[in-house]
């Protein structure tokens, strides 16, 4: 509600002016005073919106009144209209200087009075509004400044907290190496107090070597004014633990341009590096033995080849393949097979030097890279020791296993220029070693590539031979040493090859074992032998038991008992006339499943012999747990029996042991009368060998048997 104050010493004027003022707009309060001092007294507590004053008044004139009015609080901007009869300029100036806003001439024109007063009121109101707005803005501005300040303070506090808690080392260093700042993580890592460390030289915290290195890097940042690209570094904390960091160094500028310090922040990437290393390790190592795998092996070989190019020594690649491991695996079970591989890998590892590499590249295949080889003898010497180590592993977990290995050796650069060629040639040499009955090492020779091709040809020819019925059986007599009578015949396989004639089993059976053809071949042998034995009976030769050799592969597949029963049924041969020869290798490797198959065979009614006895195992006592009825002493003990006391001792031990277990003993490979006499003297029961008869085709065997039979009858 606008307040208009009128000061005039004449009552009539006051009344007129009051009326006029009240007519300006609705809701106007008018207050009149006849004397200026009392007006001022009231005005100091009631600031008006407009003052209309006479100039010529008692006590104070208009100018004095205005001057004092302007001194009152909040009154300097309020419009004041002066009503005067004077027209002089000096008088007006005086009033203006005192603070008058406008003038009205007396006698007052009513319309002019109302118009001027209204305009001034409006102006006043407008100014008030502006002033308020300005005030408000000012306050708002003040407020917002304050919030910003608070926000800034808060965020820098928070930032400091963040900087303190991020798992990163953060510090700033000055040009002279003094520490400007270190976050809590950095301080904890260095084992110092973050607040007290500022200002000290980093050398006192990090030692000379590290701080020199840091200073050199910082220098680059100071000189170039640019950040360094992130780099990885290993840092050791106050407790001696080393961790990996990804470190960045960037310039700290104060007023835009000057580099005042270097900010070093290092992110702990130890876990990531560990994970990376773990993944890398997994990708490059065999999971069972933790040995390098083929990928890492290739990497090592490439390095060795590169070194060789720089004039280093030769290196040798030994490809090691276990002989007969498949049987061990199948018969003992995969878990035991795995344990066995681990045992072998440890043995091999203990043989090689630190500079050599042992890798596992297949189920039963290992490769040794032998560095610093000066001549073939170096490689031969290592290969021999590797073979010994593998034989050593045979006494595995208390159960002796017949295991040996074949090693092929290729030497860089003579036997191959690159990784692939070296591995291929070492592999070929290994196959040559295997072909030579295993437990053997062989150097690569340039004709081996041709041999590999021959092997593929052999596979095809064997398959065709089987389909074309080119296999035949020869029979070798077995005699009773006491009476000289025929007590059986061993069926021995031959390949009647149209190209090269009669081929001995040692030349094709190992290959047939490898490619699996042995199974159908041996099933044919069993059937043929049973038919022949049946025929001998029908021919009136009496009951001559037939011995059939069985392959480890048949026991691995566990088809032997069923097949034997089926063949006996189809041929009608009395089971007591069939003897199955198992090698020590089969008998020993399988323990449970082989023992079970052996019991099944016994149930069928056949008898079992252990062939080549004495070649594989030092322990003879296991025989008592097996359902066998005969041991066939290997011919290697018979050859020098009359002259070698060791062989004689072994043969005597086998005979004594066998007899104590109620087994009959047959000596294989008896070629001379001397050998026979000696065996007879030792109490050996039976014999087989060229001395009594060579393996012969069935017709030939029948002829000899008929003669022997009639001789015996006539005797
Ligand atoms: P083996 O079962 O130990 O057979 C005896 C081997 O000794 C035969 O060789 C035989 O010819 C040879 N031999 C016999 N008497 C003498 C002798 O007085 N002096 C010499 N130096 N050797 C003699 P062969 O026929 O070459 O057979 C070799 C091996 O092949 C056999 O050894 C046997 O393990 C295996 N074999 C033969 N036929 C078969 C078969 O049908 N199936 C399977 N799985 N293996 C067979
Ligand atoms: Mg045999
Ligand atoms: Mg034998």
Q: How does residue 618 score in pLDDT terms, banded at 50, 70 and 90?
A: very low
Per-domain residue ranges of the chain: 3-108, 144-274, 285-444, 457-714
| Percent helix, strand and coil across the chain, each to the nearest 5 | 50, 25, 25
In the reported structure, the alpha carbon of residue 150 is separated from the centroid of ligand 2 by a whole-number distance in angstroms of: 100
Segment 11-32, tens digit of pLDDT: 998 999 999 999 988 889 999 9
Q: How many other CB atoms are there within 10 angstroms of residue 233's CB atom? A: 14
Q: What span, in angstroms and rounded, lies between the C-alpha atoms of 395 and 589?
A: 11
Cα–Cα–Cα angle for 568, 610, 516, nearest 5°? Answer: 65
Question: What is the pLDDT of the chain when averaged over all its residues?
Answer: 87
Q: Are 686 and 652 in contact (CB under 8 A)?
A: no
Average pLDDT over residues 229-243: 88
Residues 359 and 296: beta-carbon distance below 8 Å: yes
Q: Domain 285-444: which topology?
A: Alpha-Beta Plaits (3.30.70)
User: Which residues place a Cβ less than 5 A from the ion ligand 2?
Assistant: 549, 581, 611
Q: What pLDDT shows up at residue 631? A: 94
| Confidence label for 154 from pLDDT (cuts 50, 70 and 90) | confident
CATH of 3-108, one of 1.10.357.20, 3.40.50.300, 3.40.50.2300, 2.40.50.100: 3.40.50.2300
- The rounded Å distance from CA 362 to ligand 1 centre is 32
The secondary element (H helix, E strand) that includes residue 209 is helix 202-224
pLDDT of residue 41: 94
Whole-number Å distance, alpha carbon 256 to ligand 3 midpoint, is 96
pLDDT tens-digit map of 358-384: 999 988 999 999 998 888 889 999 999
Q: What is the pLDDT of residues 527-568, one digit of tens each?
A: 999 999 999 999 988 899 999 999 888 887 778 898 999 999
pLDDT tens digits, 47-95: 999 999 998 888 888 889 999 998 998 888 888 998 887 777 777 778 8
Task: Give the distance (Å) from ligand 3 centre to CA of residue 671.
Answer: 14
Beta-bridge mates of residue 288: none
CA of 585 to the centre of ligand 2 (A): 13
Residue 705, pLDDT above cutoff 60: yes
Q: Which residue has the tokens 């965020």?
A: 155
Q: Is the CB of 549 under 6 A from ligand 1?
A: yes
Query: Which carries the bigger pLDDT value, residue 583 or residue 6?
Result: 6
Please choose from 471, 489, 490, 492 the residue to mutate so as to test ligand 1's pocket, defined by most ligand atoms within 8 A of CB. 492
H runs (alpha helix) in 516-572? 518-538, 552-556, 560-571
Residue 232 has pLDDT above 90, yes or no: no
CATH superfamily of 457-714: EAL domain (3.20.20.450)
Category of 74 on φ-ψ map: left (φ > 0), alpha (ψ -120 to 50) or beta: left
Outline where 225-363 has alpha helix (H).
270-284, 294-309, 325-332, 334-351
Q: Which residue has the tokens 């090691």?
A: 320
The closest ligand to the CA of 523 turns out to be 1
Q: What is the model's pLDDT at position 312?
A: 58
**Which of 507, 668, 697, 701 has most ligand 1 atoms within 8 Å of its beta carbon, as the pocket-test mutant?**
668
Atom of ligand 1 nearest to the CA of 695: 11
Residue pair 353/361 in contact (Cβ under 8 Å)? The answer is no
Q: What is the CA radius of gyration of the chain?
A: 58
Band of pLDDT at residue 96, cut at 50, 70 and 90: confident
Under CATH, which architecture does the 144-274 domain have?
Answer: 2-Layer Sandwich (3.30)
Q: Is 522 close to ligand 1, i.e. is its CB under 6 Å away?
A: yes
Please state which of the ranges 109-113, 307-311, 599-603 shows the lowest mean pLDDT.
307-311
Minimal-distance CA residue to ligand 1 atom 7: 669
Contact 651, 682 (CB under 8 A): yes
pLDDT computed for residue 583 by the predictor: 82
Question: What's phi and psi for 470, nearest 5 deg?
Answer: -90, 0
H/E stretch holding 136 reads helix 110-165
Given a contact cutoff of 8 angstroms between Cβ atoms, the answer to whether 614 and 637 are in contact is yes
- How many A from CA of 527 to the centre of ligand 2? 17
506 lines ligand 1 (CB under 6 A): yes
pLDDT tops 70 at residue 591: no
Contacts of 149 (CB under 8 A, 6+ apart): none
CB 548 within 8 A of CB 560: no
């Amino acid at each position: 509600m606008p307040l208009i104050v009128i000061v005039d010493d004449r009552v009539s004027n006051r009344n007129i002016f009051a009326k006029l003022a009240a007519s300006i707009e609705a809701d106007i309060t008018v207050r009149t005073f006849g004397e200026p001092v009392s007006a001022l007294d009231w005005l100091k507590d009631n600031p008006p919106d407009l003052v209309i004053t006479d100039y010529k008044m008692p006590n104070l004139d208009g100018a004095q009144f205005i001057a004092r009015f302007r001194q009152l609080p909040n009154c300097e901007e309020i419009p004041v209209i002066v009503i005067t009869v004077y027209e002089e300029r000096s008088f007006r100036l005086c009033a203006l200087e005192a603070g008058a806003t406008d003038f009205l001439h007396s006698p007052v024109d009513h319309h002019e009075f109302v118009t001027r007063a209204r305009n001034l009121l409006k102006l006043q109101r407008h100014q008030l509004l502006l002033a308020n707005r300005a005030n408000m803005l000012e306050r708002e501005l003040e407020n917002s400044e304050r919030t910003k300040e608070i926000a800034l303070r808060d965020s820098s506090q928070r930032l400091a907290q963040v900087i303190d808690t991020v798992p990163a080392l953060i510090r700033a260093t000055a040009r002279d190496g003094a520490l400007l700042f270190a976050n809590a993580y950095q301080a904890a890592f260095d084992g110092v107090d973050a607040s007290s460390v500022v200002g000290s030289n980093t050398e006192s915290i990090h030692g000379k070597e590290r701080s020199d290195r840091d200073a050199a890097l910082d220098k680059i940042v100071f000189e170039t004014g640019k950040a360094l690209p992130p780099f990885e570094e290993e840092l050791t904390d106050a407790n001696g633990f080393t961790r990996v960091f990804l470190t960045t160094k960037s310039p700290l500028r104060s007023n835009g341009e000057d580099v005042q310090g270097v900010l070093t922040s290092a992110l702990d990437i130890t876990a990531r590096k560990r994970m990376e290393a773990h993944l890398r390790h997994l990708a490059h190592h065999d999971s069972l033995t933790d040995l390098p795998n083929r990928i890492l092996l290739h990497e090592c070989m490439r390095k060795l080849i590169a070194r060789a190019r720089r004039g280093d020594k030769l290196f040798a690649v030994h490809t090691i393949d276990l002989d007969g491991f498949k049987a061990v695996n199948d018969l003992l079970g995969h878990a035991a097979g795995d344990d066995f591989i681990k045992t072998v890998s440890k043995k091999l590892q203990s043989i090689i030097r630190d500079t050599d590499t042992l890798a596992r590249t297949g189920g039963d295949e290992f490769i040794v890279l032998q560095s610093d080889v000066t001549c073939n003898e170096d490689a031969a010497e290592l290969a021999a020791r590797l073979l010994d180590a593998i034989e050593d592993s045979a006494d595995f977990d208390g159960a002796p296993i017949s295991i040996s290995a074949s090693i092929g050796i290729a030497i860089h650069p003579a036997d191959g220029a690159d990784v692939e060629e070296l591995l291929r040639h070492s592999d070929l040499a290994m196959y040559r070693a295997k072909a030579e009955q295993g437990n053997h090492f062989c150097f690569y020779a340039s004709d081996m590539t041709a041999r590999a091709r021959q092997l593929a040809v052999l596979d095809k020819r064997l398959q065709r031979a089987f389909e074309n019925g080119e296999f035949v059986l020869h029979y070798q007599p077995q005699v009773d040493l006491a009476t000289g009578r025929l007590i059986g015949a061993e069926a021995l396989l031959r390949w009647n090859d149209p190209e090269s004639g009669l081929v001995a089993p040692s030349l094709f059976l190992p290959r047939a074992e490898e490619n699996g053809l042995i199974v159908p071949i041996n099933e044919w042998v069993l059937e043929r032998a049973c038919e022949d034995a049946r025929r001998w009976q029908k021919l009136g030769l009496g009951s001559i038991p037939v011995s059939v050799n069985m392959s480890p592969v048949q026991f691995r597949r566990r088809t032997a008992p069923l097949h034997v029963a089926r063949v006996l049924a189809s041929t009608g041969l009395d089971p007591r006339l069939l003897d199955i020869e198992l090698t020590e290798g089969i008998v020993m490797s399988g323990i449970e499943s082989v023992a079970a198959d052996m019991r099944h065979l016994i149930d069928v009614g056949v008898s079992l012999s252990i062939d080549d006895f004495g070649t594989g195992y030092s322990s003879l006592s296991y025989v008592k747990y097996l359902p066998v009825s005969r041991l066939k002493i290997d011919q290697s003990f018979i050859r020098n029996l009359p002259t070698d006391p060791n062989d004689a001792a072994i043969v005597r031990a086998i005979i004594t042991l066998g007899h104590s277990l109620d087994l009959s003993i047959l000596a294989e490979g008896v070629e001379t009368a001397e050998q026979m006499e000696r065996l007879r003297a030792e109490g050996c029961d039976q014999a087989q060998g060229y001395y009594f008869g060579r393996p012969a085709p069935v017709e030939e065997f029948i002829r000899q048997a008929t003669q022997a039979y009639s001789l015996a009858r006539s005797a």
